[in-house]
Amino acid sequence: MSSSGSNGTSDKRPMVGGQAVLEGVMMRSPWRLAVAVRNPKGEIITRSAPFKSITKRVKVLGFPVIRGAVGLFEAMKMGMGALSWSAEIAEGENEKKKSKAAAFWEMLLTIVLSVVLAVGLFMLVPYAAAEASPIDNNPFLFHLIAGGLRIALLIGYMLAISLIPDITRVFQYHGAEHKSIFTWEKLLTLEVSNAAQMSRFHPRCGTSFLLLAAVMTMIGFALFDAVWVTFIGDFRNIFTRLLIHLPVIPIVAGLSYEVLRLVEKHAEDKLWQPLVKPGFWLQKITTREPDEGQLEVALHSLRESLIQGDEVYEGPAREEAVPDSAQAEPVVI
């Protein structure tokens, strides 16, 4: 992908990203953040503001590996805020401004509860199961069991929530987000007719990141534990192991981000398909085909995120008709 420059001389457009929210989509360009939500009256309500990632503002935070870990926390913060606002709009509430203190404590509580749930379900449960096995003294076998169970729990969790009607709609907006981003990346005009022909599976998706991070965690923790046991000694219990592993998670997240960037860069290369396909398979759960109304919301959010001054930055373009090479999935899955 190109940088966030806007001189139009590149044959690629600046990288954009997004997230599905309740009845809408959040989009982020290198210079602006936008959220578009359809309210019960059928109107598209938008909120946007200038944005520049802290990884671009603080040089050291933009270094490889570090940028992935920092970007993950930054995305969580923005995502929580967007979800909270979208819930108010989707439920038909007036856009009331909460006090900064109330908004801060609400977001903090949500993040804390989410982290506790994630650690309990995806860390403690797999560790307890692996420790109950007869091979807990072998770090590689221990994390093979724990990692395998973690991936199974992740897939099971996604399948379970996909049965909830409201979540199904979020997954449709997730598909709309991907299709809109593909439309932008294919240098096409941001129209529903173009977006409708794009794939709903994207190699830079957060779902693919979660799966990749789960695999990287399995490998990384096995190596870490092998070194720990060799030079320091055995872990006393699963809680000791957990406390020692927690500070390592940002490093694993950062490494996973770098691998994901490589995977996206080579998404159409046959040699990279073993890394591309599993993420796409999982996206069959977390995305659904959107309708035209949902695509309209996603494209509206994307346009808002591309505003520079008083105009929408359009970037380099090509013929408006969608060529065969830009249709359907970017790779065979």
- Does 296 fall in a domain? yes
- Does 145 fall in a domain? yes
In this prediction, residues 18-27 reach a mean pLDDT of 96
pLDDT digits (tens, 9 = 90+) for 159-213: 999 999 999 999 999 999 999 999 999 999 999 999 999 999 999 999 999 999 9
- Does 12 fall in a domain? no
pLDDT digits (tens, 9 = 90+) for 30-78: 999 999 999 999 999 999 999 999 999 999 999 999 999 999 989 988 9
Q: Which pLDDT belongs to residue 99? A: 61
- Does 115 fall in a domain? yes
- Does 302 fall in a domain? yes
- Does 330 fall in a domain? no
- Does 328 fall in a domain? no
- Does 324 fall in a domain? no
Residue 106 structural domain: 17-312
In this prediction, residues 119-127 reach a mean pLDDT of 89
CA geometry: angle 14, 318, 299, nearest 5 deg: 55
* Distance separating alpha carbons of residues 153 and 158, to the nearest angstrom: 9
Q: Which pLDDT belongs to residue 311? A: 79
Q: Which pLDDT belongs to residue 94? A: 54
Q: Which pLDDT belongs to residue 125? A: 93
* Distance separating alpha carbons of residues 54 and 70, to the nearest angstrom: 8
Dihedral sign (CA 207, 211, 216, 221):
positive
How many structural domains is the chain composed of?
1
Q: Which pLDDT belongs to residue 321? A: 42
* Distance separating alpha carbons of residues 238 and 215, to the nearest angstrom: 20
* CA contacts within 13 A on the Cβ side of 238: 18
Q: Which letter, b or e, does each residue of 228-252 get, where b requires 16 or more Cβ atoms within 10 Å of its Cβ?
A: beeeeeebeebeebeeebeeebbbb
pLDDT digits (tens, 9 = 90+) for 257-282: 999 999 988 888 998 999 899 999 99
